[in-house]
Amino acid sequence: MKGQPLRFGGLFQKYFLVLFLAVVIPLAANGVSDAWFGYRDQRARLDQLLGVEARSAASRIQGFLDGITGQLGWLVQLPWTEEPDERRRIDALRLLRQVPAIVSLTVVDGSGRERLYVSRIGLNRTESRTDRSGEPAVVGARSARLWYGEVSYYRGSEPYLTVAISGNRSSVGIVVAEVNLKLIWDVISAIKVGETGHAFVLDSPGRLVAHPDISLVLRGADETTLRPFQAARQAVWPNSTGFATSRDAEGDRIAVAAAPISGPDWTIVVEQPLSEAFGPIYAALWRTGGLLLAGAAFAGLLAYALARLMTKPIRLLEEGTERIGAGQFDHRIEIRTGDELQRLADSFNAMAAELTVSQERQERIAKLRRFLAPQVAELVDRKGDDGVLEGRRTEVVAVFCDLRGFTAFSAKAAPEEVMSVLSEYYEALGTIITKYAATLTSFSGDGLMVLVNAPVPVEEPALRAVDLALEMQQSVQDLIFGWRDRGHRIGFGVGLAMGPATVGRIGYESRFDYTAIGSVVNLAARLCAAAADREILTDATVAYAVKDKRSLVPLGSRLLKGYDEEMPVYGICFDERIHAA
């Protein structure tokens, strides 16, 4: 198959396309639906995940605040009297040590007077008795046990939260704490959402309360800094159905979810870069895409291979029929697929074999037709026996004939005339030879040699030969008449003899002639040479064979060339047809 050009004809393309589509379409449909559903599932999962993260983060922040407010409760358990409470002062100082986030504590008694102020960085005050009952913290704590104030910025930078707690009775007083929210940093920076996500806290006006990058918090209420965070909260908070997408400070897309921190009315927002959040989705899509491509490539290869496989027998058939059609009958189509195509190939091979046989047969017939009359040739071949041309010894009648005065004529006449005469002569004689199914063994110039009873035996060969000679003479004499009109003086004589001879083909390679060898042939030739115009001379054997059936005239004995003795010669009576003058 090496030298064969790849022929991607119609059938190959059809097969290829069908096979390829048969694989790729289900693959693609599966992949796409997979990806779609996977995407939806992943989004739902992300939803859940981010929601959980948000709530968990919210609870941690709330825990931080509760840790502080829980400790504050210690200071509002015992009632105040008018006396200074040294123990409570020490308790307040110890509380400062316990809760690093508290910057200062103001302890107020039942009537709202400040009794104690301890600060981490400012001077403490004891028993200042300033009336603080109008302050929002005190008022707030009186109505609700736990009161959260608004976030304010100490020196424009550090976020402070005021928290106030009251006890179970008014006499125990109220404690107001200033909390430095910078210390939320430990909590917020520990909140990790996935690998690259984090959380931040906004208070209700939208200011940043906590962020893993503390410098963003310390910028205070800086509009430009706050914008992306507020936008993120905006995207998700009002609807609060699952997660939303927004852009972070660098402009990258993020997935955000939020949860409330109910105490101080803050919102914690968890964000995760979309690249990570959708990472599994993208990975799945890539995977599907990759699989699809791989599948398509594989389908292509498979389709190609299968289509080639399937069209190969057909190609072999196509090629084989071309070859056989071109005449290469020995070419055989090799198909071993065990199916209809193999059977088709087998019948093509059988056909080719038959064609070979037929061709051989034609050749044999052609061979025979050289010598035999066509019908004989047919007969012989139908019998399938071309051994008929084999050499053997048999009784034959040899008939020789030629034109008298032809040589002289041919010297005088124009070549076209000579050829014309000859062609009329042969045409006439040929018809007769065919009619009598005799074998024309050779001819040269104007002389013919005809055999009867070889290669195919006939009934009454002598009689047939005599009738043959008679008709030949008649026919040619008619022609002579015409030629005379044209001014040619030509005669025709026939000689025939019967006897045993060796018959067969002689020659070499592709030049074979069928002939008879024996004295009968010589005799016939001499008799022909001796025959004058209008004479048919035979020997004794023929005469004896036909004496009762045809009229003979004994012409005595003649000395013929090549024979020591004189031979009896007979003439066949030949009815002259009267030619109208």
Partner 1 sequence: MINRRTFALGVASACLLKPPAVLAQTSGRIPRIGVLGTALTAATQAIPDGLRNLGWVEGQNVIIEWRWARGSPELHAQHAAEFVKMGVDLIYAPDSAQVEAALSVTRTIPIVFAIHADPLAVGHVASLARPGGNVTGVALLITEMATKGLELLDEILLGAKRVGVLWNPAFPSHLAALNALDKAAAALGVELHRAEARGEDDYDPAFASLAKAQVSGVVVVPSTLAVKEGEPLAKAALKHKLPTIFAFRQNAERGGLMSYGPDLRDALRRSTGYIDRILRGANPAELPIDQAVRFELTVNLQTARALGLSVPPAVLARADEVIE
Interacting residues toward partner 1 by CB under 8 A:
90, 93-94, 96-97, 100, 120-124, 153, 155-158, 180, 182-183, 196, 214-215, 218-220, 222, 250, 252-253, 273-276, 278, 282, 285
The closest of 544, 531, 415, 527 to 473, measured between CA atoms, is 531
Residue 138 burial (10 A CB sphere; 0-12, 13-18, 19+): buried
Distances (CA, A) of 378 to 374, 384, 387, 498: 6, 9, 14, 26
Measured from the CB atom, is 118 or 456 closer to partner 1?
A: 118
Q: How far is the CB of 156 from partner 1 (least distance, A)?
A: 5
Q: How far is the CB of 166 from partner 1 (least distance, A)?
A: 26
Contact 423, 471 (CB under 8 A): no
Q: How far is the CB of 147 from partner 1 (least distance, A)?
A: 23
Distances (CA, A) of 281 to 22, 26, 256, 258: 28, 22, 17, 22
Measured from the CB atom, is 248 or 460 closer to partner 1?
A: 248
Structure tokens given for 71: 């400790």
Measured from the CB atom, is 215 or 241 closer to partner 1?
A: 215
Measured from the CB atom, is 192 or 489 closer to partner 1?
A: 192
Measured from the CB atom, is 175 or 365 closer to partner 1?
A: 175
b/e code 34-52 from CB counts within 10 Å (16+ = b)? bbeebbeebbeebeebbbe
Measured from the CB atom, is 97 or 511 closer to partner 1?
A: 97
Q: How far is the CB of 33 from partner 1 (least distance, A)?
A: 18
Phi, psi for 29 (deg, rounded to 5): -60, -45
Answer positive or negative: Cα dihedral of 179, 180, 186, 189.
positive
**DSSP reduced 3-state for 136:** helix
Q: How far is the CB of 250 from partner 1 (least distance, A)?
A: 7
Q: How far is the CB of 50 from partner 1 (least distance, A)?
A: 17
**DSSP reduced 3-state for 178:** strand
Q: How far is the CB of 101 from partner 1 (least distance, A)?
A: 8
Residue 30 burial (10 A CB sphere; 0-12, 13-18, 19+): middle
Measured from the CB atom, is 99 or 324 closer to partner 1?
A: 99
Q: What is the DSSP letter of 169?
A: S
Distances (CA, A) of 508 to 80, 190, 371, 513, 564: 152, 112, 16, 9, 34
Distances (CA, A) of 153 to 105, 182, 222: 17, 11, 11
CA distance 58 to 47: 16
Contact 533, 492 (CB under 8 A): yes
Which residues 6+ apart lie within 8 Å of 358 measured at CB?
Answer: none
Q: How far is the CB of 233 from partner 1 (least distance, A)?
A: 21
Q: How far is the CB of 103 from partner 1 (least distance, A)?
A: 8
DSSP lists the bridge partners of residue 571 as 537, 553
Structure tokens given for 145: 């046990």
Measured from the CB atom, is 90 or 144 closer to partner 1?
A: 90
Q: What end-to-end distance do the CA atoms of the chain give, in Å?
A: 78
CA distance 414 to 65: 143
**DSSP reduced 3-state for 176:** strand
Q: How far is the CB of 229 from partner 1 (least distance, A)?
A: 16
3-state secondary structure 502-547: EEEEEEECCEEEEEEECHHHHHHHHHHHHCCCCCEEECHHHHHHHC
Q: How far is the CB of 252 from partner 1 (least distance, A)?
A: 5
Measured from the CB atom, is 245 or 519 closer to partner 1?
A: 245
Measured from the CB atom, is 120 or 369 closer to partner 1?
A: 120
Q: How far is the CB of 326 from partner 1 (least distance, A)?
A: 58
Measured from the CB atom, is 119 or 477 closer to partner 1?
A: 119
Helix (H) or strand (E) run with residue 154 in it: strand 146-154
For residue 317, the one-letter residue type is L
Q: How far is the CB of 222 from partner 1 (least distance, A)?
A: 7
Measured from the CB atom, is 175 or 389 closer to partner 1?
A: 175
Q: What is the DSSP letter of 106?
A: E
Q: How far is the CB of 57 from partner 1 (least distance, A)?
A: 20
Measured from the CB atom, is 156 or 374 closer to partner 1?
A: 156
Measured from the CB atom, is 289 or 487 closer to partner 1?
A: 289
